[in-house]
Structure 1
Amino acid sequence: MRGRDPGEPHRTATSLELLFGLCFVIAVAEASRGLSAAVAGGHAASGALRFALVFFTVWWAWMNLTWFASAYDPDDVPYRLTVLAQITGSLVLAAGVARAFEDGDLRVITLGYAVLRTTLAALWLRAARSDPARRRTALRFAAGVTLCQLGWTALLFVPAQVRLPAILVMIAGELTVPVWAQSAGMTPWHPRHIAERYESFVLIVLGESVAAAAAAVRDAAGRHRDSGALYLLAVGGLLMVFAMWWLYFARPAHTILATTHRAARRRFVWAYGHFPVFASAAAEGAGLAAYAVLTQRHGDAVPLAARAAVTVPVAVFLITVWAVHVRPHRRRGTERFAFPAVAVAVPAAAFAPAPALVAGLLCAALVVVVTRADRASCTGGPVGVHAQEGRRAGGA
């Protein structure tokens, strides 16, 4: 298992990587469903906290194997079996999400996480044996992953009143491991491959948002066929999801990663900064679903917290996409201010009679601004950007 060439041409995700990502849909769906139920039940604040903690475990498990595979994936039988074991761990983790939301029971989710982390440590030990040049880095990863997993297991025996601070300490420890390990030497990850994997996860969480919102609107519309609020919710939700897709894919991520390949701090900012991008996209579906349920119960008198659950995730998505994915391209013009301005304006839509529609229209206006700015700079919009990058790559 020697390191792969970070400049390998035509590097794309394998079918096993795509299967690995798709299996995380279940865990994302369970987390989104738990947040939706919490918002609909009047526990938005506690639900958001539990969602953030649960989603971190999902995202972190996915991200760690993604970066490892980019650097080392040999696609041989032992590696395939190990990744299949990781998929099993992700399914066990997903099975424990509901318990974690309902009563704080972390036993099943910890079991799934243990399978994921143990197999990852085994992969790093294999890399340490096969890649002498990066043995120190691989051993640091294996040691850090193992120690953190022991810490997560120990949390099961911690008193409930101190569990949250202990979880925050563990999260800080997890985030520190890659920084500490790669200070001994960088792994040979592939910029285009990493960009593709992150883009696929964006599609996963956006797809989950569409599915969750559509199911909720369908169920509610079956009982309130004349509810115009539900139709406005559906239109606004689609506008937001479409705009979120458009704005994220308007800039090619691999060009950012290629320029940060030797800049560790900027690389980690991009990689870690995607947590709120992914989490907010998944939370948007939960907010739309909760709003549909509460519209069924209360008509137009939906509580402010549920209205905010529709608008705030979009604002978080916009500001983090701008910070980690758009701003590094150093484009000039109105789009430099348009993203922050819309991100500030969107939460105020919670006070509108149709918050999803107003937020969707604001996001659509931002798409227009970005597209016009692209045309003005002769990039040709989202399609043109990728086409232009493809021509450059083909002529290189």
Structure 2
Amino acid sequence: MSHDDAHLRSELKNDLRHRLRPLTNIVPRGRTRQVTPLELLYDLTYVIAFAAAAEEVAASIAEGHVAAGIGAYLFAIFAVGWSWLNFTWYASAYGNDDALFRVATIVQMVGVLVLVFGLPQSFHDAAEGHNPNNLLIAVGYLVMRVPLILLWLRAARYDEEHRRSAVAYAITVAVAQVGWLLTAVIPMPALVAVVALAALVAGEMVVRVLIEQRLGRTPWEPGHIAERFGLLTLIALGEVVAATTRTVAVLTQEQGWSLGAVMIAASGLVLAAGLWWAYYLVPSGAILLRQPERVYAWRYTHLLVWAAIPAVGVGLRLAAEALEGGELTLLGIAVALVVPVGAVIVLVFLLWSMLVRSYDLTHIPLLVATLVPLGAAVVVAAIAGTDAPFDPHDGSDLTALVTVIALVALSTVVEVVGHEIVGYAHTVRALVRRGELRET
């Protein structure tokens, strides 16, 4: 049998026969782990989760339940984001794409959808001052997490070198999951439930770091982790595009195509593209391949990134609500857009600083320049707006809204252009200063 024939047979066997496979030596020597179609299919459920959470919080804010809506939104985003992070961590080390792994992944996808069905009740309960972790969300989260416990136990059975770490992961997830379930089934005040959930979250985060540092790092692949986190960020950005489409659709349905509609459409797309560009200016893959121990703070910061990016879509959804004649003020819409966009920009700078381990002040001028248009957007809204609700039929209100959205989009342009000009040189200087790169 020729070498080409043997190679073809091997590829066909890998693609067409998904029987039980070993969990070690999954990636051939000299190659890196590639994102699989199964992982991309799994991510599709998160498109639904992000969109559902954004829609619910936009409705809550429009109804005046600002604090409760934001709290329920952060709870929902963390639940789905944390589950995704846990699964991706396992898959990067042991995702062998056999039948058992495929079935376990699909079961977790079912759990995501069950959790999504519990979101309306969660936001309603939060608005009433009750525990946002209702039974349907807890059941969905249980379905998302139990397969992962079994997968970690499977890894412990077959990977002797990392057995202690795999068992520790399985125990950690199981204990945390019991705690999450108890906060849903035991009647307790909302504040007590929130504190209990926060304690569970903090404990699980710390334990996961200790497992990798004390018991041994599981064989996750840095390049694969960087790519997977970037792909979920892309999915979150899809909510910005969807919200832009809805805002423009509402405006054109009411008044037809106009310069304002074109400006909002262009600004929304610039927002999505600018945030995407800014995120990928962080050299995540390149740094993690050389310094994998820097992954811990980097990965947890992404939970905030995944909350902030769909929240940009929430701001655009609120603009659409106002265009339909809601009770929102122009200043309220501006703040709903400025805060999440500013958060994403700051988080991008934070991700860079965590990876490069450079906390100097030389990139502060660019950060300030990026935030200037956001401040200007708030000023415009404060000057042009009143305490009265936004009036879509008032030409001055509509002009002010278009200006606000354009200024918010401009901030991402400033970030991208500025980083393209100084980012490479600044990153190289920081790495040379730390002795991680030779000076040419």
1:339-370 C-alpha deviation (Å, 9 max, x unpaired): 35424652552232332211111221222222
The within-5 A match list for 1:40-59 is: 40-59=62-81
Do the aligned residues in 2 keep the contact of 1:55 with 1:279 (CA within 8 Å)? yes
1:110 CA drift (Å):
0.9
Do the aligned residues in 2 keep the contact of 1:191 with 1:257 (CA within 8 Å)? yes
The within-5 A match list for 1:120-159 is: 120-156=148-184, 157-159=186-188
Structure 1 window deviating more from structure 2 (217-226 vs 43-52): it is 217-226
- 1:57 is paired with a residue whose SS is helix
Change (3 A) 1:275 1:224: same
1:109-151 C-alpha deviation (Å, 9 max, x unpaired): 1111001111110001001111111111111111110011100
> Please, which of 201, 204, 207 is the counterpart of residue 238 of structure 2?
207
Change (3 A) 1:70 1:7: farther
- 2:325 is paired with a residue whose SS is helix
1:226 CA drift (Å):
7.2
CA distance, structure 2, for counterparts of residue 227 and residue 349 of structure 1: 21
* Greater relative CO (CA pairs within 8 A, separation 6+): 1
* TM-score (structure 1 length as normaliser): 0.87
Amino acid in the other structure paired with 1:308: V
Amino acid in the other structure paired with 1:46: A
Structure 1 window deviating more from structure 2 (81-90 vs 33-42): it is 33-42
Amino acid in the other structure paired with 2:177: Q
> Please, which of 221, 242, 252 is the counterpart of residue 221 of structure 1?
252
CA distance, structure 2, for counterparts of residue 76 and residue 95 of structure 1: 29
1:268 CA drift (Å):
0.7
Q: Which residue of 2 aligns with 1:315?
A: 342
Q: Which residue of 2 aligns with 1:386?
A: none
Whether 1:283 aligns to 2:299 is no
1:86-128 C-alpha deviation (Å, 9 max, x unpaired): 1111111122122211223621111110011111100010011
CA distance, structure 1, for counterparts of residue 215 and residue 423 of structure 2: 40
Amino acid in the other structure paired with 1:124: W
Over aligned residue pairs, what C-alpha RMSD do you find? 2.7
Amino acid in the other structure paired with 1:306: I
Q: Which residue of 2 aligns with 1:294?
A: 322
Change (3 A) 1:49 1:207: same
> Please, which of 355, 376, 380 is the counterpart of residue 328 of structure 1?
355
Do the aligned residues in 2 keep the contact of 1:319 with 1:343 (CA within 8 Å)? no
* Percent of pairs with identical residues: 34
Q: Which residue of 2 aligns with 1:373?
A: 422
Q: Which residue of 2 aligns with 1:175?
A: 205
Change (3 A) 1:101 1:377: closer
Structure 1 window deviating more from structure 2 (221-230 vs 198-207): it is 221-230
Whether 1:356 aligns to 2:405 is yes
Amino acid in the other structure paired with 2:407: V
**Gapped runs of 5+ residues in structure 1?**
380-396
**Gapped runs of 5+ residues in structure 2?**
1-22, 126-131, 381-399, 429-440
CA distance, structure 2, for counterparts of residue 133 and residue 362 of structure 1: 49
Do the aligned residues in 2 keep the contact of 1:50 with 1:101 (CA within 8 Å)? yes
1:285 CA drift (Å):
0.5
CA distance, structure 2, for counterparts of residue 6 and residue 307 of structure 1: 51
Change (3 A) 1:348 1:175: farther
CA distance, structure 2, for counterparts of residue 320 and residue 378 of structure 1: 17
1:219 CA drift (Å):
2.6
Whether 1:304 aligns to 2:331 is yes
Change (3 A) 1:375 1:164: closer
Q: Which residue of 2 aligns with 1:193?
A: 224
Do the aligned residues in 1 keep the contact of 2:149 with 2:170 (CA within 8 Å)? yes
Change (3 A) 1:138 1:348: farther
Do the aligned residues in 2 keep the contact of 1:128 with 1:134 (CA within 8 Å)? yes
Amino acid in the other structure paired with 2:350: A
Count residues with an aligned counterpart.
375
Amino acid in the other structure paired with 1:107: L
Change (3 A) 1:246 1:110: same
- 1:201 is paired with a residue whose SS is helix
1:17 CA drift (Å):
0.6
Amino acid in the other structure paired with 1:193: H
- 2:44 is paired with a residue whose SS is helix
CA distance, structure 2, for counterparts of residue 94 and residue 71 of structure 1: 28
Q: Which residue of 1 aligns with 2:114?
A: 92
Do the aligned residues in 1 keep the contact of 2:222 with 2:288 (CA within 8 Å)? yes
Q: Which residue of 2 aligns with 1:384?
A: none
1:376 CA drift (Å):
7.0
Amino acid in the other structure paired with 1:122: L
Do the aligned residues in 2 keep the contact of 1:20 with 1:87 (CA within 8 Å)? yes
CA distance, structure 2, for counterparts of residue 150 and residue 309 of structure 1: 35
Change (3 A) 1:343 1:173: farther
Do the aligned residues in 1 keep the contact of 2:248 with 2:265 (CA within 8 Å)? yes
Change (3 A) 1:40 1:8: farther
CA distance, structure 1, for counterparts of residue 167 and residue 274 of structure 2: 43
CA distance, structure 1, for counterparts of residue 307 and residue 38 of structure 2: 24
- 1:297 is paired with a residue whose SS is coil
Whether 1:15 aligns to 2:43 is no
